[in-house]
Copies of this chain bind each other. A is one copy, B any other.
Amino acid sequence: MKELAVYVDTNSKVPAYEQIYSFIRDEIINGNIKKGASLPSSRALAEYLQFSRSTILMAYEQLVAEGYIETEPRRGYYVLELDNGFRGSGAAATSQLSLEKAAKEYRIDFSPDGIETGHFPYNEWRRIMRQVVTPENQELFNSGDSRGDSGLRQVISEYLMESRRVRANPSRVILGAGNENLLMIISMLLDGSSVFGMENPVYRKSYMLLKSLGRKIVPVGMDGSGMLVSRLEESGADIAYVTPSHQYPTGTVMSIKRRMELLAWARAKEDRYIIEDDYDSEFRYKGKPIPALQGNDGEDKVIYIGTFSKSLSPAMRISYMVLPGVLYEKYMKNGTYLSNTVSRIDQKAVELFIREGGFGRHLSRMRKIYKNKHDVMLACLRRWKNTVVSGENAGAHMLVHINNGMSGRRLAELADANGIKIYPLDTYYIDEKKSKDTQILLGYARLDAHQIEKGLRELAELWGL
């Protein structure tokens, strides 16, 4: 312990040493200063509290005399153990993480979220960090542009053009610590009365965030080609939130025809916008690459959102969006007071990683790794009776339709009892009870081939497939 903020009332009739003594004694009794903790040296505390050293020594000696603390040469003053009966109610409040809920541990978790972290480029990242954290980059350690640093915004702009055909002027690229952070900014830029049309089933985090921001949301049905634009039109929505590359959670890839319909819908009214959440477009296993919706948009109607959470790591919290002109101008007028939320150290590291080609290599490597897991899962599922797999061409999870008469919830209960976690589709619906739904989500990013095979073998037995 280096310092101890003791409050001493200099107007009080109680001498300072006695106030210091009582303060420390109470803190020990209440368990706020723990057994074995060392107190600041009398010199340090005297300087810190601006009292003479002898005042502090008198307080300490009193504490020693009463058995609260002990002194040892070279070790200084440290706190002794007290009888338990001594401790006041304050002890519990600061003890440890007593309120933490113990999350259930599963043997195998087919989570559709998360990534494989075994192949994160650790060595390269350490090398880049050595480059970034130097006095030469001193300016980086102060506050930066509210949009994020221009270096990373520039390389993101180039990357989006190359790989997704997204037309992103670097000025209009805005970084945020996760998609939810960007959605908060978007919500501030859109009219308060706007109605959000969301795919149903839905990506729950975005749904819950918009809901807790008090936004009006209407669920819009889907078919095998994506959100039904006719239903969107009927819903009265102004803003369409879609995941065209790989719908979350169903895995549907929005057809070209539907994309064109959606863009036409947006063009029909001035305040209509499309939020294109392109969260895992980097991973695709079959068919030709389909460019982002944003690239087909000739009239600045698409707010494009992407993230490094899937392609690199969710630990860095780096997402980005590309704003249409009108919203960009609003942002520059009213939004720049908000400090950017992304670590500037991580921003610089990702910038260098992309510039030096590391990101491209990492993506190729991860595509192969996920493709392998994908193939293993698909091969297992194809052996199951009465089972239809969909949404398997991209991302890191599949939608599995099991026709053995059990609901997804029942399937999950059976799995749960055996230490395996699966994700019934019905929990992803907005405002609807679909408890009889028989579809489930199976993700594979965090599992290795052996776990996938073992888990699916056990599930097939449990479910009689």
Check if A86 is an interface residue, CB within 8 A of chain B: no
Contact between chains at A345 and B50 (CB < 8 Å) = no
Check if A204 is an interface residue, CB within 8 A of chain B: yes
Q: With A and B bound together, what is the CA distance between A152 and B188 in angstroms?
A: 31
Q: With A and B bound together, what is the CA distance between A163 and B171 in angstroms?
A: 42
Interface size, A (range): 35 or more
Contact between chains at B343 and A317 (CB < 8 Å) = yes
Check if A212 is an interface residue, CB within 8 A of chain B: yes
Q: With A and B bound together, what is the CA distance between A429 and B94 in angstroms?
A: 39
Using A94-B157, A139-B117, A142-B114 as known contacts, say yes or no to A291 and B343 having CB atoms under 8 A apart.
Answer: no
Interface stretch (choices A95-103, A217-225, A263-271): A95-103
Contact between chains at B315 and A208 (CB < 8 Å) = no
Check if A2 is an interface residue, CB within 8 A of chain B: yes
Closest CB in chain B relative to A126 CB, distance in Å: 5
Check if A410 is an interface residue, CB within 8 A of chain B: no
Using A117-B139, A177-B341, A178-B339 as known contacts, say yes or no to A164 and B5 having CB atoms under 8 A apart.
Answer: yes
Contact between chains at A141 and B120 (CB < 8 Å) = yes
Check if A209 is an interface residue, CB within 8 A of chain B: yes
Interface stretch (choices A73-81, A127-135, A391-399): A127-135
Residue of B nearest to A120 (CB): B141
- Chain A residues 64-105 with CB under 8 Å of chain B are 90, 93-101
Number of copies: 2
Check if A125 is an interface residue, CB within 8 A of chain B: yes
Partner pick for A142 among B100, B117, B337, CB 8 A cutoff: B117
- Chain A residues 135-192 with CB under 8 Å of chain B are 135, 138-144, 150, 153-154, 157, 161-165, 167-172, 177-178, 180-181, 184, 188, 192
Contact between chains at A98 and B165 (CB < 8 Å) = no
Residues of B within 8 A of A291 (CB): 5, 7
Contact between chains at B32 and A150 (CB < 8 Å) = no
Contact between chains at A143 and B208 (CB < 8 Å) = no
Check if A13 is an interface residue, CB within 8 A of chain B: no
Interface stretch (choices A282-290, A374-382, A418-426, A456-464): A282-290
Q: With A and B bound together, what is the CA distance between A144 and B120 in angstroms?
A: 16
Residue of B nearest to A117 (CB): B141
Residue of B nearest to A9 (CB): B256
Contact between chains at A205 and B315 (CB < 8 Å) = no
Give the interface centre of A171, A181, A317 by most chain B CB atoms within 10 Å.
A317
Contact between chains at A167 and B32 (CB < 8 Å) = yes
Residues of B within 8 A of A5 (CB): 162-165, 289-291
Mask, A350-377, CB within 8 Å of B = 1, is: 0000000100100010000000000000
Check if A432 is an interface residue, CB within 8 A of chain B: no
Check if A41 is an interface residue, CB within 8 A of chain B: no
Q: List 28 A-B contacts (CB under 8 A).
A: A5-B290, A7-B289, A32-B161, A49-B288, A49-B289, A50-B288, A94-B167, A96-B154, A96-B170, A100-B150, A115-B142, A117-B141, A117-B142, A118-B138, A122-B134, A122-B135, A129-B133, A141-B315, A142-B446, A178-B339, A180-B338, A181-B181, A192-B214, A204-B337, A317-B340, A317-B341, A342-B343, A343-B345
Chain A interface (Cβ < 8 Å from any Cβ of B): 1-10, 32, 48-50, 90, 93-101, 113-115, 117-118, 120, 122, 125-126, 129-130, 133-135, 138-144, 150, 153-154, 157, 161-165, 167-172, 177-178, 180-181, 184, 188, 192, 204-205, 208-209, 212-214, 256, 287-291, 309, 313-317, 328, 332, 334, 337-346, 357, 360, 364, 446
